[in-house]
Amino acid sequence: MTQPDLLFLAARDAAELIRRKALSPVEYVAAVLAAAEAAQPRLNAFVTLMPDEARQAALAAEAAVVRGEPLGPLHGIPVSIKDQLDVEGFPTTQGSAIFADHTANRDDTLVTRLREAGAIIFGKTRLPEFGHKALTDGPSFGATPNPWDASRTTGGSSGGAASAVASGLGPIALGTDGAGSIRIPAACCGVVGFKPTLGLVPWDNAADAFGNYTYAGPMARSVGDAAAMLDVMAGPSPQDPWSLGAAARPPSAALARGELSGLRVGFIARAGNPRVERAMEANARASAAALAARGASVEEAPAIDWGEFPGRIVYQANYAVAMARHLPQWRGAMDPSLLAFMERGAGFSLTQFREAQFARTALFRAVQGLMERFDVLLSPSLTRTALPVDFDAAHDEVEVEGEKSGITRQGWSAYVYPFNLTGHPALTVPSGFAGDGLPTGVQIIGPWGADRDVLRIGALLEEDRPWGAHRPPAAQCT
């Protein structure tokens, strides 16, 4: 097997080869590490790599195979972790100079679960400061460019993870999603990104666990690998109250057989955004047509109030309160866009904040109303392909086909953020390319707990509209 073929091997296929002793975990991890080290000056996808620890884990994984021990579903599979989650003995910088010297003294719950499944942690990936925006750059580390076009962003905030997976630097990655932060970079970089139902995968790091809208989830080059990763990470944690009663619905037997007859799909043409790029919408509608060809019925979903402004109040006000303690010492080293978000957030009144929280409930109920009419919802993932790498998230307006369309939350990521507030599972899968040569994505949203059905529909789209053969130009240099 050539090195490029090895690097772009699906995680499930690699795990099967390892189980059959046809692939050495030592050689596999060495290839990923070498490629990541070579690509780092160009892609800037990693905060740190862990060569010594990863190689030791690979040796132990290989020894377990030789001894015939029971093997986990991700045995010997390299995985990267977004630098918002703790890996014992390594920095958790949160993309900030403030925590540049912070070393974790324990593994995050999800890191523990990945290790127990046999995965090998080999690196921590980039994010903007505290994951506050939809681009991955910051004063403490520069920019993480898109592997398809270095003049464009990877998206954010799980931009390092998306870049790594798209470039063959590990088949799977752990990301987080507070306002689309898994799905935005996945769509920008042409990979799969999944935000689970609220509570299905625990998020132990929420300052406000009961008001949480941040999720951890898988990023991968195939839906099947994302599903395998989800199976490993799902389950309750005593630190996350939403997880204590969360449970995935049993998967649909008809969907398991690939039958979509009777499936009702609601197509969301707009989610508060004034425009959508023609190629982005066309590729999403082509995905809808592929579902229809399997027997699904597709209709336009009726318009609802997607609540862009109330969502922004909650988001920016929370940053204003949570980050205020850092300002006296660190203001001069913090990302100007984060400071702008905090300043706006501090200007909202208590009445506005509570009204925004009430609007979150209203949005949930509106989406629940759609779910009474449709089994799943479908939309473009974003309004356009990746923004310029130097886009100012605090002040610039998004341009869609040359027309200014508002700030990022309204003009670019309007389709993804609502489902952070409502808790519904949402998957983005590649849907094709736009005229600029960059990937487009389509988003599938399901009822609470229907995570595996959403993933199965994504897998059927992947089967009918295959993507896996496409590799970004940056990957040719690894």
Residue 80 bears catalytic tag:
no
Domain residue ranges in the chain: 3-477
pLDDT at 200: 98
DSSP letters, 74-103, are TTT-EEEEETTS--TTSB--TTSGGGTT-B
Cβ–Cβ < 8 Å for 161, 36: no
Q: How far is CA 34 from CA 31, 57, 144, 150, 366, in A?
A: 5, 16, 19, 21, 49
Mean pLDDT of the chain: 97
**HEC assignment per residue over 446-467:** CCCCCHHHHHHHHHHHHHHCCC
pLDDT at 160: 98
The CATH code of the domain at 3-477 is: 3.90.1300.10
Catalytic hit among 157, 158, 222, 381? 157
Residue 181 bears catalytic tag:
yes
Mapped onto helix, strand or coil, the DSSP state of residue 260 is coil
Residues 272-282, mean pLDDT to the nearest whole number: 97
pLDDT at 478: 60
Question: H or E stretch including 18?
Answer: helix 11-19
Beta bridge partners of 194: 427
pLDDT at 248: 86
pLDDT at 476: 63
Q: How far apart are CA 319 and CA 345, in angstroms?
A: 7
Catalytic hit among 181, 222, 237, 431? 181
The contacts of residue 395 (CB under 8 Å, 6+ apart) are 340
Of 144, 245, 158, the closest CA to residue 448 belongs to 245
Number of helices and strands (H, E) in the chain? Answer: 18, 17
Residue 357 pLDDT greater than 60, yes or no: yes
pLDDT at 477: 57
In the chain, the amino acid numbered 391 is F
Radius of gyration of the chain (CA): 21
Choose the weakest-confidence range: 180-194, 245-259, 375-389, 446-460.
245-259
- Per-residue pLDDT of 176-197, as tens digits, reads 999 999 999 999 999 999 999 9
Residues 372-379, mean pLDDT to the nearest whole number: 98
Q: CB-side exposure of 160: number of CA atoms within 13 Å?
A: 33
Residue 82 bears catalytic tag:
yes
Residues 64-92, mean pLDDT to the nearest whole number: 98
Q: How far apart are CA 282 and CA 354, in angstroms?
A: 38
pLDDT at 437: 97
Catalytic hit among 82, 124, 133, 195? 82
Question: H or E stretch including 113?
Answer: helix 109-116
